[in-house]
Amino acid sequence: MATSRWTAAPARTASPRRRGAVLEHAILDAALEQLGTVGWKGLTMEGVAAEAQTGKAALYRRWPSKEDLVADALVSGLPRLEAAPDLGNVREDLLALCRQVRQIMFSRPGIALRAVIHECDQLHTERFEGVIVGNVVEPTVELLRAVIMRGIGRGEVRSDAADGYVLDAVPAMMMYRSKMCGSEWSDRELEEMIDRLMLPLLRPYGA
């Protein structure tokens, strides 16, 4: 008896429904992806839902607005600055730290953050001020403080240099020139900022 050439395809198992933290992670990841591709102005809750392959209701149950969603996506996604560089002198430590900050700014979450900074109006920028300060500015300042205090201990840096104005200089310059001038912060630009701005600010009096 002849057998059929055709065999039934195996039954396809349905994908398990995502819930809880798994679904939340997918939505936050989709929000970062959308920010990187369509920007702040182009991002919609519908677009994020489609990217995450879920329904809008899943977003609105967790985040009442796109501002809330984007804030959580940035906080969860931005890489962390873990430790201050210790390369033996303050110039190399500052350069290494600035390169770490640049790497964060050009990571996928960093690009998403830049889209928010560049495209938001004043009202929305204020909404994200805590995200920017708490996840970029303050960690950078704390590591700058560690670098400068180590430089003071080595006698490279004047004893009163670890003040707020000096510590704000690097994050302020990097954020300002990125937003206002579109600076990509090449190695040469970082070196110029350190050599022409930071080292004169830190140099011991009379040196």
* Tokens found for residue 112: 């998403």
User: Is the domain covering 20-65 a CATH 1.10.10.60 domain?
Assistant: yes
**pLDDT value for 12:** 39
DSSP secondary structure code for residue 191 in this structure: H
**pLDDT value for 18:** 62
- Domain 90-202 carries which CATH code? 1.10.357
Q: Provide the 3-class DSSP secondary structure of residue 204.
A: coil
The pLDDT averaged over each successive group of 10 residues in the chain (207 residues) is 44 53 95 93 96 95 94 92 92 96 90 85 78 89 96 95 93 85 88 96 85
CA 193 to each of CA 76, 77, 132, 168: distance values in angstroms, whole numbers, following the listed order: 30, 28, 21, 13
Measure the CA angle with vertex 41, ends 131 and 99; round to 5°: 45
- Give the Cα separation of 117 and 98 in Å (integer): 19
Q: Provide the 3-class DSSP secondary structure of residue 42.
A: helix
Q: Provide the 3-class DSSP secondary structure of residue 4.
A: coil
Nearest to 51 by CA among 25, 16, 15, 77: 25
- Give the Cα separation of 120 and 87 in Å (integer): 38
Residues of the chain with CATH 1.10.357: 90-202
Residue pair 55/82 in contact by the 8 Å Cβ criterion: no
Q: How many CB atoms lie under 10 A from the CB of residue 8?
A: 6
- Give the Cα separation of 53 and 41 in Å (integer): 21
**pLDDT value for 16:** 52
pTM for the structure as a whole: 0.80
Residues of the chain with CATH 1.10.10.60: 20-65
